[in-house]
Structure 1
Amino acid sequence: MNAALSDDKTGQALNTQRFQMLEDIAKELSGDLIFPTHFDITLRLRDLLRDSDASVQQISAAVSVEPLISSKLISVANSALYDRGGPPVRDVKGAIQRLGMRVVRSTAFGVAMKQLLLAKEVADFGDLSQRLWQHSIGSAAACTVIARHFKRFKEDEAMLAGLVHDLGASYMLYRASQYDELRARPETARYLIWKWHESIGESLLHALGLPEEIAAASRDHDHPRPIPEAPRTLADVVFVGNLMAGGHFEWLNKDFDAADVKKAELGEPYASMQDEVTACTKELQAVFG
C-alpha cells in the first residue's frame, strides 16, 4: 500500500465519519442519490433521451433551461471533433441535430461532473478534485482515439465511458466534503476513494441508468492486468484509456514516475496514438474549460 495513503486514519470521530459516509452512500445507491442541484438537469435530460418518441424540439427546450449545457453543446458541435466543414452551429437545436443524442448525453454529464468536482463544497480537496477532472478529460480523449482506431467501438460511447469511469471517485469526494473530520484530513478521503471508488462507481452508474456496457467498463479499471493488443470490449478501451491518461497514479498517488512507466509499458499500437490523444485532450479541455 502506498505510504501516503496509510497515514492520517486514526481517531474515533474520524473512524465514525469514515464508516458513516460509506453507510450513507450504500443507502443512497439503493434509494435516492444525493447530488448537488446542478446534476438535476442532467438526470432529467437522461430520462428524456431514453424516450424514443422525444423530438429534437423537446430535447432542445429541456437543454435550453441550463445555459451552461446549452453553450457547451454549441461549442462541441463547432469543435474540430464534430465540425465536418458545414456552416457554424448557432443554436441548441442545430447542435443536437449535428451531434446526436449520445453526444448530447455525454456533454451534459461532462458539464455536471465538472461542476461536481469544482463546486465550492469540495474546496478543501481542491488539488485532488482538479487532478481528477483533468484525468477524466484525458481518459475521455484516449478512449475516443482508441475507438477511432478500432472500428468496433462507437467514438461517442467510448468518450462517455472514459469521462465517467471515475464518477465513483467524484461522487465520494463530493460526499466526503459533507463530513467535518474528512474535510480536515484530506488524505483519509484519498484512502477511502482509493479503496472504494471502483465498486461505488459501477453501482452509481447503474443507479443513474447508464448503459450496462458503460457501467461495466468502470469495473476494476485501476486493477493491473495484461494490456490487450487489441481491445475486445469497452472495458478494455477504458482500461487502456485510463493508463494513457496516467492511471490512478496521476490523480490519487501523485506518483508521476510510476505513471510514466505504465504508459511506456503500453507499447504499440497505443504508443503511436499519443499525439492524437494529446490533441483530442486539448480539444475537450477547450470545450469544457
Structure 2
Amino acid sequence: MTTAQSSAWCRLVIWSRKPSAASNSSSISWNATFRADMADTAANLHFPILDDIARDLAGDVNFPTCLDAAVLVRNTLKDPFAELAQVAKVISVEPLICSKLLRMANSIAYNPYGREVTDVATAVSRLGFDVVRTTSLAVALDQMLKSRNLRAYEPLAKQVWEHSIQVAAIARVLARRLGRVNPDEALLAGLVHDIGIFYLLYRAADYPVYQNDPDAVQALLVGWHESIGENLLHALGMPATIIDAVRDHDQPSNVETPCTVKDMIYFANLLASRDATEIPGTPLAPDTPRQQQDRERYADLLAEAADDIAQLQHALAG
C-alpha cells in the first residue's frame, strides 16, 4: 500500500461524516472496502491503532489530559461575545498556561516600556485572543511531550517539537514580510502542523507492537501523521485555514505567490527541513528542482527568524 493510498483510505474512514437523520450531530461512515484492504496488506500492522483512533475521532475524542485546558480556552474564545473576565477565569484554571501568558505579556516583544503585568486579565488584554489561543495550545503540546506515554519516544518527540517551533517562527516571519496572512495564524499553524505525530506517539505507547520496534513507529508516523493530524484539528475545532495548512504539508507544492496560511507552512516546513527530515530517522530525499528553487527564494528568512525561534523557545521553556 502506498502512502497516497493509505492517506486516501484513512480520509475515507475518518472524514466521511454524514449528518445523522435523528440529530444535527455527525456520524462516521465506515467503509468495508477500506477495512478489507487494510487487513490484506502489510498495513494491517497499524490497523488496530488506526481503527481505534478513527472510532475516537468519530465520537467523543479521547484527548490527552494536557489538551483539555487548551480545548476549553479555545471553545471560550470562539464565542464572539466572550468577555475578558470570562476568558481570564477559564485560563486561571490552568496555572501553567497562566504563567506562560504572564511571561509573554512581560516580555520585550509585548512590554517594550517595562510596565509589568501581574494579573491574567491584563495579560490577555495585552496579548490579544489570537496569541492566547496559540499559546494555550503550544503549552498543551509541550506538556504532552512530557507525559508518561511519550517517555519511550522522548528523543524523537523533542526533535519534532523543535522542528515545529522552527516552522512556526519561520511561518510568522514570512507572513509578516508578505503582509497577506495574519502572522499569529501562521504561527499557530506551524506549531500544530505535526500534531498528528505527537498524538500517534501518545497512543502508540498503549500498543505492544510498537515497543522496541522503531521501524514500525517510523512507518506509522510517515504514513499517517498528516491524516490523523488533520482529523484531530477538526475535533479541536480549529479554523478551516489551519486545517487546510496541515493537510498534505509534506507534499511538494507549486506556489508562485504565497498568499495563504497553507503557503506559509509549505515554505516554512521546507526551510526548517533543509538539513534533516521532519520525522527523525527517515531518509533525507533529494530536493526536486522546484523545491531547491523555493529554498533559495526565501533562504534569508532563516537568519531573520532566529530571534523569533529563540523568543518562542524561551516563552515555552520551564
Mark yes or no: TM-score above 0.5. yes
* C-alpha distance in structure 1 between counterparts of 2:85 and 2:51, whole Å: 42
Q: Structure 1 residues 115, 258: closer, same or farther in 2, change over 3 A?
A: farther
1:45 aligns with 2:81: no
> Equivalent residue for 2:94?
66
* C-alpha distance in structure 2 between counterparts of 1:140 and 1:204, whole Å: 19
Per the alignment, in what secondary structure is the counterpart of residue 179 of structure 2? coil
Q: 1:26 aligns with which of 36, 41, 54?
A: 54
Structure 2: segments with no counterpart, 5+ residues: 3-41
* C-alpha distance in structure 2 between counterparts of 1:47 and 1:96, whole Å: 16
Query: TM-score when scaled to structure 2?
Result: 0.80
What whole-Å deviation, never above 9, does each CA across 1:71-112 have from its counterpart, x for those lacking one?
111122223443343512222111100111111110010011
> How far 1:262 sits from its partner (Å)?
9.7
Task: Tell me which moved more, 245-254 or 54-63.
Answer: 245-254
1:101 aligns with 2:102: no
> How far 1:123 sits from its partner (Å)?
1.2
Aligned length: 275
Q: 2:110 aligns with which of 82, 102, 116?
A: 82
> Equivalent residue for 2:27?
none
What whole-Å deviation, never above 9, does each CA across 1:151-209 have from its counterpart, x for those lacking one?
01111111001111111111111111111221221321111110011111112111211
> Equivalent residue for 1:57?
85
> Equivalent residue for 1:221?
249
Q: Structure 1 residues 83, 231: closer, same or farther in 2, change over 3 A?
A: farther
1:209 aligns with 2:237: yes
> How far 1:229 sits from its partner (Å)?
4.7
1:145 aligns with 2:173: yes
1:281 aligns with 2:309: yes
* C-alpha distance in structure 2 between counterparts of 1:266 and 1:90, whole Å: 44
> Equivalent residue for 1:232?
259
* C-alpha distance in structure 1 between counterparts of 2:58 and 2:305, whole Å: 37
Q: 1:169 aligns with which of 197, 203, 208?
A: 197
Higher helix fraction (1 or 2): 1
Q: Structure 1 residues 80, 220: closer, same or farther in 2, change over 3 A?
A: farther
Structure 1 counterpart of 2:117, one-letter code: V
Structure 2 counterpart of 1:33, one-letter code: V
1:235-246 mapped onto 2 (5 Å cutoff): 235-246=262-273
Structure 2 counterpart of 1:235, one-letter code: K
Task: Tell me which moved more, 261-270 or 30-39.
Answer: 261-270
Structure 1: segments with no counterpart, 5+ residues: 2-13
What whole-Å deviation, never above 9, does each CA across 1:99-156 have from its counterpart, x for those lacking one?
1111111001001111112312111112211111111111110111011101011111
Q: Is the 8 A contact 2:64 2:144 kept in 1?
A: yes
> How far 1:225 sits from its partner (Å)?
2.5
Q: Is the 8 A contact 2:244 2:262 kept in 1?
A: yes
Q: Is the 8 A contact 1:144 1:155 kept in 2?
A: yes
* C-alpha distance in structure 1 between counterparts of 2:313 and 2:48, whole Å: 35
* C-alpha distance in structure 2 between counterparts of 1:74 and 1:28, whole Å: 35
* C-alpha distance in structure 2 between counterparts of 1:76 and 1:251, whole Å: 29
Q: 2:160 aligns with which of 132, 150, 153?
A: 132
Q: Is the 8 A contact 2:245 2:261 kept in 1?
A: yes
Structure 2 counterpart of 1:246, one-letter code: S
Per the alignment, in what secondary structure is the counterpart of residue 54 of structure 1? coil
Query: TM-score when scaled to structure 1?
Result: 0.87
Per the alignment, in what secondary structure is the counterpart of residue 87 of structure 1? coil
1:155 aligns with 2:207: no
Structure 2 counterpart of 1:241, one-letter code: A
* C-alpha distance in structure 2 between counterparts of 1:161 and 1:42, whole Å: 15
Q: Structure 1 residues 209, 75: closer, same or farther in 2, change over 3 A?
A: same
More relative contact order in 1 or in 2 (CA 8 Å, sep 6+)?
A: 1
Choose 1 or 2 for highest CA Rg.
2
> Equivalent residue for 1:194?
222
* C-alpha distance in structure 1 between counterparts of 2:231 and 2:99, whole Å: 30
The CA RMSD measured in Å over matched residues stands at 2.4
Q: Structure 1 residues 256, 98: closer, same or farther in 2, change over 3 A?
A: farther
* C-alpha distance in structure 2 between counterparts of 1:108 and 1:16, whole Å: 36
Structure 2 counterpart of 1:234, one-letter code: V
